[in-house]
Chains A and B, each alone.
Chain A
């Protein structure tokens, strides 16, 4: 017998062990998310994929699907909360889309468009964060970090290098480089590492390649994020 649950009234099939987000993605239904990546173990930290399951809020990237669940995702109430979370991410860092080379390819920006975010709403923190340009091939712009930890997981679990970590607590949490000097040049990080490919925003960037893709041909120029993020993409 096939296993199913309902998502916004639509029947979604799933296999044993799949999370709600995985099953939804496989069925072509988009649930906004930032820290989730299909190739990595869910982290459940950004909370953007929050849904209501039988009336209770939970992160859909960590909640396993179960038969007969009634899941709500695309409701005004939940999207308003997702929008507020996204606005908080924007004001906590320095996200200047107009001059950011990740613009058009950025998951945070695309998610903000998807959620209809029209302004940052909250006061900007304007944190003072330096750029680490020490590595010959890769630039780190910490201004744009949203603490998704994908680079931490990729470097540790795939590359076996442990180059990145999240340090500090609460509002002071920040991304660090695992070297005595704190500089990327003093690690064995390489452009070919998985960790160099997974950043959903504009923190980990290949040097000297910015703006090589013209407007109109960037990832989210082609289609909105709701049509591009499905299982395995």
Chain B
């Protein structure tokens, strides 16, 4: 399958421009652009330049180690991996229903993470573009520049993230890479002191989150020509949807819609995910390309994350976030919004929802309970799915009768958005770079499109051992002495 601008006909005749590394994103990636003599764009690719291999080296390890080990995929949203793995292993230890305390403590941990990750992405990584302009002075287009010109905004960004990190610390034991979630439940509850400490700040956090929604809403609606069309492409959407169609980051069933909002599938038990989703490997990236089986490679790719979730759910259970969701849906005019920059707006609605849920949970005495763990009939296989900050995250494990992992498959959020990000940057390249002299400001437009998806490139690279690969050994005259191929 070849997509427009994915592969140039004669790359050897073209000039190569690289954005390496892509800045203000998590992990390491680069973009290559192939141009001809008239600066016309012939090829644009987002490459993920590292691989991790977790799926491989987790094999042979005892299953109870997995939630702690796999979260090392990432330092930004390790809680997502920690919990997705735990959910898969809940199935394996027969704990299909956790105790109320365990479920609420995990949910609290996860919503703390959504809050901190969304705050980090919006304030630290993206606000410089949004507040100063995409091709503004590069020396101030960073968080320090924001701190100097908009000190209150920058300060709130830092404090919002700090609060989310504190929620993680009291539930997981550490701000980064804790051990709180275990197969069948959690290993600690909250003390009264920990709960009260968080309660002191939660009302400010909610207010600041509301202000953040209003800030991005204002930025977006003031320049609809740019924000509604920048990097735009149409695609399917997918996300978990909670009970009764609620927005839910921790649990639910899978729902997919097409670009017009028409259902593709709904109420899908994620234990069956591989009946609905397939992954394609392409030779030029360590990141795989997932797609819906029913639609095939060409039409089955989709986007995940805030823009998908907020439009896929029927409602949001908390009042302020639901109000903002309705505002967003009204603005979109009753049809799905596909603009990548609308990710920011929906991301802030999600941050507000996370803050409101944290408040509700902190008023629930189940968080103080010591009834933390259950077990049932042991199973050999389990799937855990969670909505990570960047989108739907799948963990799938098989465990043998000696408790050792024999198979692991991870489809991480950014992988789900792989084709979508490539489409966005190709659109931007066509619109802004084609036929022009390349400048730093123009190249930043490409990065702005990538950043909208909040990609976490470090955890998205799993194609180890599966890429089609050809190796040729040549002698000094250039004749092939030996060749090996795979895939």
Contacts and interface: CB of A to CB of B under 8 A. Distances in A.
Interface size class of B (residues with CB under 8 A): 20 to 34
Nearest to A221: B173
B62 A214 contact: no
B405 to A, nearest CB: 10
A130 B402 CA distance: 14
A55 interface: no
Contacts of A207: 62, 64, 403
B69 interface: yes
A130 B65 contact: no
A99 B68 contact: yes
B182 A211 contact: yes
A98 to B, nearest CB: 6
A150 to B, nearest CB: 22
Contacts of A215: 172-174, 178-179
A208 interface: yes
A210 interface: yes
Contact of B404 (A131, A212, A216, A217): A131
Interface string A115-144: 000000000000000110110000100000
A101 interface: yes
Contact of B187 (A100, A133, A139, A211): A211
Given A98-B72, A133-B62, A207-B62, A214 B403 contact: no
Contacts of B188: 214, 216-217
Given A99-B68, A133-B402, A134-B402, A211 B62 contact: no
Contacts of A214: 173, 179-180, 187-188
Interface string B84-128: 000000000100000000000000000000000000000000000
B177 interface: yes
Contacts of B179: 211, 214-215
B402 A212 contact: no
Contact of B72 (A99, A101, A209, A216): A99
Interface string A187-227: 00000000000000000010111111111110000000000
A210 B62 contact: yes
Interface string B60-93: 1110110111001000000000000000000001
- Chain A CB within 10 Å, residue with most, of B62, B72, B172: B62
A209 B62 CA distance: 11
A101 B187 CA distance: 13
A134 B60 CA distance: 12
Contacts of B64: 101, 207-211
A213 B187 CA distance: 6
Contacts of A99: 65, 68-69, 72
Contacts of A101: 64-65, 68
Nearest to B400: A133
A134 B400 CA distance: 11
B25 to A, nearest CB: 24
B84 to A, nearest CB: 16
A181 B182 CA distance: 33
B173 A216 contact: yes
Nearest to A141: B62
A186 to B, nearest CB: 13
A213 B68 CA distance: 13
Contact of A211 (B60, B68, B72, B174): B68
A209 B373 CA distance: 12
Interface in B21-77: 60-62, 64-65, 67-69, 72
Contacts of A216: 173, 188
A211 B403 CA distance: 15
Nearest to B171: A214
B60 A131 contact: yes
18 contacts: A98-B68, A98-B72, A99-B69, A99-B72, A139-B62, A205-B62, A207-B62, A207-B403, A208-B93, A208-B403, A211-B182, A212-B187, A214-B179, A214-B188, A215-B172, A215-B173, A216-B188, A217-B188
Given A131-B62, A217-B188, 4 more contacts: A207-B403, A209-B64, A211-B182, A214-B180
Interface of A: 98-101, 130-131, 133-134, 139, 205, 207-217
